[in-house]
Amino acid sequence: MAGVEPAVGEVRAPVDDLAGRGAWLRSVYAERWSEQDGGLVHWRDQLLAALGALERDTVVVTHFFGINAAVGAASGDDRLVCFRPDNCSRTVLENDGGRLHLVQLGAEGATAVL
């Protein structure tokens, strides 16, 4: 069964225009989750809750910051960006009763941030 789960969608920027979104992404790129406001942390918590609720092997397609949020949670890394997943790479995580564990990082690349 396929479906779209909004909780694993791309991070929500506080601005709508593309240039502003790119500037915002670049501004938070080197920050830590512990430094973030409620909105961004809420987005991450929703993503992690959706992944933690999966009860069977599942393919989840998401974006750069979503992958980083999941990998950071699984590896205990507080950085917003803890690795640079290449486009179409495959990162493998295990869900152990709602707790994520990193099995394999996807290929890293030089993915450009807007």
Look up residue 30 and give its DSSP letter.
T
Q: Which residues contact 75 (CB under 8 A, 6 or more apart)?
A: 82, 102
Its pTM stands at 0.89
Q: How far apart are CA 109 and CA 112, in angstroms?
A: 9
Nearest to 87 by CA among 70, 59, 67: 67
The predicted pLDDT at position 3 comes to 84
Q: For 50-108, how does the pLDDT look when each residue is reduced to its tens digit (9 = 90+)?
A: 999 999 999 999 999 999 999 999 999 999 999 999 989 999 999 999 899 999 999 99
